[in-house]
Amino acid sequence: MASATVTPASHSIRAGACGVRSEKEADGTYANLSLISHSQAEFILDFARIVPGMPKAKVHSRVIMTPMALKALQANLKVNIERYEAVHGEIKLSGQPQLNHNIGFETEN
């Protein structure tokens, strides 16, 4: 089973070590789409599921976090993605446009 990490605003600890794990969180919820919005005080992360043949995605979970907690989550995700890619190879995003970081005209040298 893969290890999980809980990310409080101040530091990272292994899941289960803090004793705040209910059965609902332990089972998990599948999402293949995330929507993020924010105000000055908080970030709102909606996790949804797109199902073929359905006109709209259904939000199954909403997480509301402070900016500080979300920044800690971002750092923790970065570390865990790097660990994953070191073992399993680069995660390639399919079905999303490739960003071209060159703005304006390109010249050949």
Domain positions in the chain are 21-88
Measured in whole angstroms, the distance separating CA 84 from the mean position of its chain's CA atoms is: 14
Is the pLDDT at 75 greater than 90, yes or no?
A: yes
Specify the pTM: 0.63
pLDDT digits (tens, 9 = 90+) for 8-47: 544 444 555 556 666 666 778 899 999 999 999 999 999 9
Residue 39 confidence (pLDDT): 97
Lowest mean pLDDT among 48-52, 72-76, 80-84: 48-52
Can you give the pLDDT at residue 68? Answer: 98
Per residue in 52-61, pLDDT (tens digit) is 888 888 899 9
Q: DSSP alpha helices (H): ranges in 4-107?
A: 23-27, 67-88
What's the mean per-residue pLDDT of the chain? Answer: 80
Distances (CA, A) of 22 to 26, 29, 93: 6, 13, 32
Look at residue 84 in the predicted model and tell me its pLDDT.
97
pLDDT attached to residue 78 = 98
